[in-house]
A and B are shown apart, each in its own frame.
Chain A
């Protein structure tokens, strides 16, 4: 079973994301912000990271940069799921090494479809 690290500082968003992913058959580990996710990234292997952008302590783009420095995460898909829709932010996410940029709110079926495309 694939394991996804789901990162969001909003408890309701974490619930929605986890519910959607678990219903689609994924194992989910939740993190409350980028720093928490970074700490959890060392504890096990993940098939995908799905992260919010605007969070306290460490944002999604900073998390992406830090994860990409780790050889273990060089090939791991990292999707940023955020309210931010500006091209400038998307380009910053791309430059940091993100695999994709998804603007909230997400549609469960489309989210699973995109994950299916990027998870090996």
Chain B
């Protein structure tokens, strides 16, 4: 609801209009920055995958040349292990994407609620408020070690 003095909290309590607008701006900037981070991660992920496949294809060339090429050597075994480790690490993109999407939704919900509570509904109808995430963030991992396995 609009207050007569934008610096004064509304009668029922809550944010003064100026503070609400400022806070909403910060939340939207943070949300847009996360969007940019998402695009950066996508780009980095694609580049890393390209390099991964390049290295992997070279290993397949070596495999095709066996037994002319001896594959039972420590450097080749280490290279294969490194590629396997890269598969685990490259899954960061999926996890980061989910984490960012969840956080963005939460930020937008906060920004929309602040705007609605401070300024009321839009002239042409009810203020649009992004739905808050229904559940806590599904990504709880904070490292890239392989996850648990449960067979029922």
Residues of A within 8 A of B (CB): 8, 10, 12-13, 15-16, 19-20, 53-54, 82-86, 90, 94, 98-110, 114, 117-118
Contacts and interface: CB of A to CB of B under 8 A. Distances in A.
Given A103-B147, A107-B84, A110-B146, A16 B91 contact: yes
Specify the main secondary structure of chain A where it touches its partner.
mixed
A10 B94 contact: yes
Nearest to B140: A85
Given A16-B87, A90-B150, 9 more contacts: A16-B90, A83-B141, A99-B151, A100-B151, A102-B148, A102-B149, A102-B150, A105-B144, A110-B149
Contacts of B91: 12-13, 16, 104-106
Interface centre among B91, B95, B145, B149 (most CB of A within 10 A): B149
A105 B140 CA distance: 12
B66 interface: no
A92 B94 CA distance: 22
B94 to A, nearest CB: 4
21 contacts: A10-B94, A10-B97, A12-B45, A13-B91, A19-B56, A53-B138, A82-B138, A83-B94, A83-B138, A83-B140, A99-B151, A99-B152, A100-B151, A100-B152, A101-B149, A102-B150, A103-B149, A105-B89, A106-B87, A114-B149, A118-B151
B149 A12 contact: no
